[in-house]
Amino acid sequence: MGETVKKAAREICQSTKTIALTGAGISVESGIPDFRSAGGLWERFNPMEYGTIGAFQANPEKVWQMLQEVSDLLASARPNPAHTGLGRLQELGLLHTIITQNVDYLHQEGGATRVIEYHGNAKTLACIWCNQRYDSDELGGQIPPKCSCGKILKPDVVFFGEPIPIRALQESYELASSCRALLIVGTSGEVAPANTIPETAKRAGATIIEVNVEPTVLTEYLTDIFLQGKASEMVTELVSEVENMMVRN
């Protein structure tokens, strides 16, 4: 793996604009299971019954059975070396922006300052009936949390069937079509429109570097440099190689 990590580090050092795309795999080592691997969330909760906006509108109490479990996991999760590693690359001026599909805020807690939350964030909630908004910590742990209008609140995360926040969509497209390198960490690449970001970057001539414990749909037809392994180990190796190269240059 040493040579492949060196190749990836060289790309990042030479690139004038690198962005990252991350998925649930980057937070697995922080104790948050991903969605589609063995033991993943969608193995335990049918996404058609718990993950669509229609399911939430029809039976919010039921959907909150899953949301409560997820929010407990998020509350105890801490950034792992993959999160802090990407934060370090930003600090070094070598990583422009992180586009994350995750709603766990661990990139920001890991020191990253420019993060696009493509699927929203679980720290705020909204009433989809009267549009009032709340911070999760002002609701005092009430489950399911209720709006002053009496309706059950929904976390500001994107459910299947909901649009991507427009600013996130536009900024991500602009970044993908102007970057020189894209670092993908821990996503299966199975969900649109997030999975069009690597394609857009590739079409713009960017080098695609992918970190995952196993090959994905992206690996076969898009990835230039594949770093197979756990995110915390691979990102740590990559960052230390980048720092070595910076010292040597």
The residue ranges that bind ligand APR (CB under 6 A) are 23-25, 28-29, 34-37, 40, 101, 119, 186-188, 190-191, 211-214, 216, 230-231
Q: Please list the alpha-helical segments (H only) found in the chain.
A: 2-14, 41-44, 47-50, 53-58, 60-76, 81-91, 106-109, 166-176, 197-203, 217-221, 231-248
The residue with its CB nearest to ligand APR is 25
Output 79 or 186, the one with its CB closest to ligand APR: 186
Pairing of strands 115-117, 97-100: parallel
Nearest approach, Cβ of 203 to ligand APR (angstroms)?
21
SS3 151: coil
Please name the residues in contact with 14: beta carbons below 8 A apart, sequence gap of 6 or more: none
Output 118 or 134, the one with its CB closest to ligand APR: 118
Q: Which of 83, 96, 107, 119 is catalytic?
A: 119
Closest Cα to residue 11, out of 72, 67, 94?
Answer: 94
Nearest approach, Cβ of 106 to ligand APR (angstroms)?
13
Under a CB-based contact definition with an 8 Å cutoff, are residues 63 and 13 in contact? Answer: no
Nearest approach, Cβ of 150 to ligand APR (angstroms)?
28
Output 35 or 134, the one with its CB closest to ligand APR: 35
The answer to whether residue 96 is catalytic is no
Output 108 or 187, the one with its CB closest to ligand APR: 187
User: Catalytic site residues?
Assistant: 119
